[in-house]
């Protein structure tokens, strides 16, 4: 089975990546799409012990909300089009998580949408897409 990991972002760029992945799945017999939404996590927030106790509960709620609002609707739409698909949500850094999942799943490729955001943080630190392209262990397709 050929697994294609698709990064969702809850925006139009993620929808474009899903559409491209759907076309690829129809071309590659026996393929499966794995839709992944990553809830960004920052190591730079310092928290009190009380905040740490609440962190797990917030994390689980964020994962549940992302599954409900972003991943599940895309999965259901693809299933109606007879595409073999699964979805999941993880917490962490987008590039690291997508690459780790691609390794875990022995994926052939990662597909992501190019975001149009050109903010200061993106220019200084690089976008998640740029970081993924530079660090991934499998080919990355960036859909514009």
Q: Are 102 and 110 in contact (CB under 8 A)?
A: yes
Mean pLDDT of 121-131: 62
* pLDDT tens figures, 94-123: 999 999 999 999 999 999 998 765 554 444
Cβ neighbours of 139 (radius 10 Å): 12
What pLDDT is recorded for position 125? 41
Residue 10 C-beta-side C-alpha neighbours within 13 Å: 12
What pLDDT is recorded for position 128? 84
Q: Report pLDDT digits (tens) over 26-81.
A: 999 999 999 999 998 765 566 677 776 777 788 889 999 999 999 999 999 999 99
Please enumerate in sequence order all residues whose Cβ is within 8 A of that of 47, keeping only pairs 6 or more positions apart, or say none: 55
3-state secondary structure (DSSP) of residue 8: strand
Q: What's the fold here for domain 2-143?
A: Rossmann fold (3.40.50)
Closest by CA position to 8, among listed 82, 81, 84, 68: 68
Residue 15 scores a pLDDT above 60:
yes
Whole-model pTM: value is: 0.87
The pLDDT assigned to 23 comes to: 97
User: Are the C-beta atoms of 24 and 31 separated by less than 8 Å?
Assistant: yes
8 A C-beta contact, residue 19 and residue 35: no
pLDDT band at 25 (very low <50, low <70, confident <90, very high): very high
The confidence band for 124, taking pLDDT boundaries of 50, 70 and 90, is very low
């Amino acid at each position: 089975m050929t697994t294609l990991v698709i990064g969702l972002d809850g925006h139009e760029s993620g929808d474009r990546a899903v559409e491209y992945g759907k076309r690829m799945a129809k071309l590659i017999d026996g393929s499966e799409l794995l839709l992944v939404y990553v809830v960004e996590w920052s190591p730079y927030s310092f928290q009190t012990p009380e905040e740490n106790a609440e962190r797990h509960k917030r994390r689980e709620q964020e994962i549940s909300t992302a599954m409900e609002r972003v991943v599940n609707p895309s999965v259901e739409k693809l299933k109606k089009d007879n595409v073999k698909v699964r979805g999941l949500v993880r917490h962490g850094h987008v590039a690291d998580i997508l690459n780790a999942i691609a390794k875990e799943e022995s994926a052939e490729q990662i597909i992501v949408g190019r975001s149009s955001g050109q903010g200061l943080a993106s220019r200084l630190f690089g976008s998640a897409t740029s970081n993924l392209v530079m660090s991934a262990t499998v080919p990355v397709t960036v859909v514009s």
